[in-house]
Structure 1
Amino acid sequence: MSFTLTTWNINSVRLRIDQVIRFLVENEPDVLCLQETKCPNDHFPSAAFKTLGYQYIALNGQKGYHGVATISRIPFTETQALRFCDKDDSRHMTVELGGTGTPGGSRGVRIHNFYVPAGGDAPDPEINPRFAHKLAFLDELVEWHEATRPADRPSVLVGDLNIAPYETDVWNHKALLGVVSHTPVETERLEAFRRMTGYVDAVRALRPEPEKVFTWWSYRSPDWSAADKGRRLDHVWLAPDIAPALETAAIARDVRGWERPSDHAPVTVRLSL
């Protein structure tokens, strides 16, 4: 069976619910993983999703900041939201899709939805607590993997990881080496984690370097599309046992040009499971 999943940093789900609905109507993914929802759970616009047939919603939100949500047309058999770095800042949600007759068969598929801290401006943990938090979060990802071995079963890790790991994941590698999201301490740490776990970077599996690939364009650019000074901050990683099922990986760049858009574009993969 064909299974599609989208990850998207929406930068306020209530502010951009019309854009989300439009995307779902036009693309119909089976699962939508949102980050930066900026919405407490009891104010999440669940009715809008259920009207479109997305009856299963797992939330980890908070007022004004952060927040993740996983919305699905396929039932969940399990949900789990974890705390990282001893902070209640709503950056993780895991769901397991239903068993027999659903993607992954009797074992189901686990989807790990992450929103990694952005890290602020100065790439120095000694003077910038936000960057120190980001590095600590990455270290705890390693601990999380060692404790749960999530890649040892059918699983997908998605989200705004706030790191562009490869040279062609940014518009200018040399210019951004000292800019948070592309500093060596971040990129090397993220890649070490991915290699350790065995996860396959879905977009780069189908669009390898040296092709430039971006998912984020700053609001500060007066003509973001023409300037094209982007970064690839949003990722879909596949556990080794389901990576061969990857059929397509698409970045909906046009969505960045919609009215009142998020600064991130949705990333969608299709698997044959």
Structure 2
Amino acid sequence: MAAPLKIASWNINSVRFRLASVQRFLAEEQPDILCLQETKVIDNDFPEGPFRQLGYNFQKLHGQPMHHGVAIISKMRLSDDNRLDWQANGEARHIGVSITGPLGGTVRLENVYVPAGGEVPDREVNPKFGQKLDFLERMTQWSRGLDGRTIILGDFNIAPLESDVWSHKQLINTVSHTAIEIERLKALQDAHNWVDIGRKFYPAPERLYTWWSYRARDWSVSDKGRRLDHIWVSPDLVEAVKSHRVVEPCRGWAQPSDHAPLISEFLF
């Protein structure tokens, strides 16, 4: 029987600064494909060599200096490279490819880094918040026109459910968990009937976090987490998903990202 295809997603918060962590993750977890967000590097400076040495010879990059940036590195061939400007200002926040699974099926894989949205949830005083809402609206319009099996994943920067944050009451007016962001994310999900794989395998209200602030003195003890990172699939791919987990120990490694990686396994 064919082995499942293992796909990982990780907001790495600078791939060069955390190169050792990514190398360790690849060596220990052996994903077939790793989608990175917030790489913070131009394509010419992306550390291709160290990843090729680990067998990740297929790489699609969409970077820019110092900020944002996404990449897909893979042990298997990637085709139909696509970059969509949902930010409408040229920022490197999306890259999509086509992949062929172990059973011969073809699927689109879309890697996205949604803007954080600043600190104040008011687009009149904080333009970054408005940009985030508009980004989600453009993603929603794109989702309505989708045809074909698709995986979309990455840092969505929204924790939609009450159980997706350590305290719904304390964070209800905090960017990433406000009512309008949750409403916009729900509209995006409904536009293609996307299935949230995290909550398929860990139904609410089960604890499920992917991000812990650097401000916490001891992140694991305080456990003030949020589920900002997601893997969604088209409805016709649900049965192909065989497992899902958050690799929380990575948050405790030396010089960590504030995000932990996600891994889902697929048979298609």
Residue 104 of structure 1 deviates from its aligned partner by 6.1
Match of 1:119 among 112, 117, 120: 117
Give the aligned partner of residue 70 of structure 1.
72
For structure 1, which runs of at least 5 residues remain unmatched after alignment?
none
Give the aligned partner of residue 262 of structure 2.
267
Percent pairwise identity: 46
How do 1:164-203 and structure 2 match up within 5 A?
164-203=159-198
Q: Structure 1's 42 and 158: CA in aligned 2 closer, same or farther, altered over 3 A?
A: same
2:177 partner SS: coil
Pair 1:145 & 2:147 matched: no
Contact 2:87 2:93 (8 Å CA) reproduced: no
Q: Which runs of 4+ in 1 moved over 3 A?
A: none
How do 1:211-226 and structure 2 match up within 5 A?
211-226=206-221
For structure 2, which runs of at least 5 residues remain unmatched after alignment?
none
Contact 1:103 1:109 (8 Å CA) reproduced: no
CA distance in 2, matches of 1:182, 1:64: 26
CA distance in 2, matches of 1:212, 1:84: 31
Residues 21-67 of structure 1 show CA distances to partners (whole Å, capped at 9, x for unaligned) of 00000001111000000000000001111111111101110010000
Contact 1:97 1:103 (8 Å CA) reproduced: no
Contact 1:104 1:154 (8 Å CA) reproduced: no
How do 1:214-253 and structure 2 match up within 5 A?
214-253=209-248
TM-score by length of 2: 0.97
CA distance in 2, matches of 1:91, 1:81: 8
Deviates more, 1:79-88 or 1:61-70: 79-88
Residue 103 of structure 1 deviates from its aligned partner by 4.2
Q: Structure 1's 104 and 183: CA in aligned 2 closer, same or farther, altered over 3 A?
A: farther
Deviates more, 1:239-248 or 1:119-128: 239-248
CA distance in 2, matches of 1:191, 1:7: 21
Contact 2:12 2:37 (8 Å CA) reproduced: yes
CA distance in 1, matches of 2:215, 2:77: 40
CA distance in 1, matches of 2:202, 2:248: 15
Give the aligned partner of residue 155 of structure 1.
150
Give the aligned partner of residue 27 of structure 2.
25
Q: Structure 1's 10 and 91: CA in aligned 2 closer, same or farther, altered over 3 A?
A: same
Give the aligned partner of residue 130 of structure 2.
132
